[in-house]
Amino acid sequence: TPAGTPKHFLDLDRFDRETLRGMIESAKAMKRGDSPGGDPRPLGNKTLALIFEKPSTRTRVSFEVGMRQLGGEPIVLEPSGMQLGRGETVADTARVLSQYVDAIMLRTTAEEKLLELAEHARVPVINGLTDRTHPCQLMADVLTFEEHVGAIAGRTVVWVGDGNNMATSWLHAAARFDFELKLATPDSLQPPQDVVDWARAEGAAITVTDDVEAAVTGADAVVTDTWVSMGDSDETIDQRRKDLRPYQVDERVMSLAADHAIFMHCLPAHRGEEVTDAVIEGPRSVVFEEAGNRLHAQKGILLWCLT
């Protein structure tokens, strides 16, 4: 990172292991009730702008509340109420907002917009989800896995379903947190090959298969996500549902995983599509703890970006 570059949180592949591990451990400490450096308001007088070009429940509320709990101030901006929504460029928006706020979180469609924001902002930019990745969610997911199963290094996580933005961030995480990742996806919805290649080159054990049963056997965690993401075009929906039908996580699939295996999902979930009601409401499901951990993970990210 060139000197003077703000401490952006763009994607996990841009970080080294130690930095990400530090954010996870600081999130765990804050969850236990520790104040960072003994300061109950480490982000006092700091302001975070949150720009949402797509809907959000967890990301929005966990960032807002997390910022307040650290003594800072969040401002939520909807593009429809901004000049950004009527054509002001991302680059200009970045240069203006950088003079008012201390960090900017963006949830958007195209990754190019996030990168443009980061290029022109003089303050840290946080990726709140794009069509390509969702790194903040992975920080909460690693935290959740470790609370339930133990250290994630050397474990096996199985992704079942669409090779989407969450799958890409799981690939980044496998390389940075040293676990094995198996992705069971239909041929039509495999994760990006360049990211699979990258993770393997970084030393991660990655399997991509269309065989759910083989992938899930012995897994420490089974993870899935919606069959239709916010960026997916309406024309593809029927085909996606057809291709993904054999990839529903049900009790039979979960029974193949290790006895201690957990079920994870970033939410929102669609019962009867990617997961059955019995699994998501069942004893192995940690989806609500996972959602709750977004708050603690965001605080770890915010603290790193802003101090």
Which residues of the chain form contacts with ligand CP (CB under 6 A)? 56-59, 129, 137, 266-267
Is 135 annotated to bind ligand? Answer: yes
Cβ neighbours, 10 Å, residue 147: 15
Query: Which residues fall within 8 angstroms of residue 274, CB to CB, at 6 or more apart?
Result: 160, 161, 224, 225, 226, 227, 244, 247, 248, 249, 265
- Taking the least distance from each CB to ligand NVA, the nearer of 134 and 182 is 134
State the binding partner of 226 from ligand CP, ligand NVA, none, CB within 5 to 8 A by kind: ligand NVA
How far is 23 from 212, CA to CA, in rounded Å?
A: 33
- Taking the least distance from each CB to ligand NVA, the nearer of 165 and 298 is 165
Task: Name which position in 126, 266, 279, 302 contacts ligand NVA (CB under 6 A).
Answer: 266
Please indicate whether residue 200 is annotated as part of the active site.
no
Query: Residue 298, interface with ligand NVA (CB under 6 A)?
Result: no
Given the residues 134, 155, 172, 284, the one annotated as active site: 134
SS3 262: strand
Given the residues 137, 220, 243, 265, the one annotated as active site: 137
Q: How many CA atoms lie within 13 Å of 254's alpha carbon, on the beta-carbon side? A: 23
Given the residues 294, 296, 298, 305, the one annotated as active site: 294
Select from 35, 32, 59, 34 the least CA-distant residue to 48: 59
Query: Residue 290, interface with ligand NVA (CB under 6 A)?
Result: no
Please indicate whether residue 107 is annotated as part of the active site.
yes
CB of 57 to ligand CP, least distance (A): 3
- Taking the least distance from each CB to ligand NVA, the nearer of 136 and 152 is 136
Residues within window 119-138 making contact with ligand NVA, judged by CB under 6 A: 129, 134
Would you say 247 and 288 are in contact if contact means Cβ atoms under 8 Å apart? no
Residues within window 205-244 making contact with ligand NVA, judged by CB under 6 A: 225-226, 229-230
Is 137 annotated to bind ligand? Answer: yes
Is 84 annotated to bind ligand? Answer: no
Residue 17 to residues 115, 285, 294, Cα–Cα distance (Å): 22, 28, 20
Locate all alpha helices (DSSP H) within the chain, ordered by sequence: 17-32, 58-69, 90-97, 111-120, 135-148, 165-177, 193-201, 212-216, 237-244, 251-256, 277-280, 287-306
How far is 11 from 23, CA to CA, in rounded Å?
A: 14
Q: Which residue is nearest to ligand CP (CB)?
A: 59
- Tokens 């799958």 correspond to what residue? 167
CB of 295 to ligand CP, least distance (A): 12
Query: Residue 109, interface with ligand NVA (CB under 6 A)?
Result: no
Would you say 119 and 127 are in contact if contact means Cβ atoms under 8 Å apart? no
Question: With CB under 6 A as the contact rule, which of the stretches 41-49, 159-167, 240-248, 255-263 interacts with ligand NVA?
Answer: 159-167
Query: Residue 166, interface with ligand NVA (CB under 6 A)?
Result: yes
How far is 190 from 8, CA to CA, in rounded Å?
A: 28
CB of 56 to ligand NVA, least distance (A): 8
State the binding partner of 102 from ligand NVA, ligand CP, none, CB within 5 to 8 A by kind: none
How far is 64 from 75, CA to CA, in rounded Å?
A: 8
Query: Which residues fall within 8 angstroms of residue 80, CB to CB, at 6 or more apart?
Result: none
Q: Which residues are near ligand NVA by CB under 6 A?
A: 129, 134, 164-166, 225-226, 229-230, 266
Annotated binding site for L-ornithine: 165, 225, 229-230
Residues labelled catalytic:
107, 134, 137, 225, 266, 294
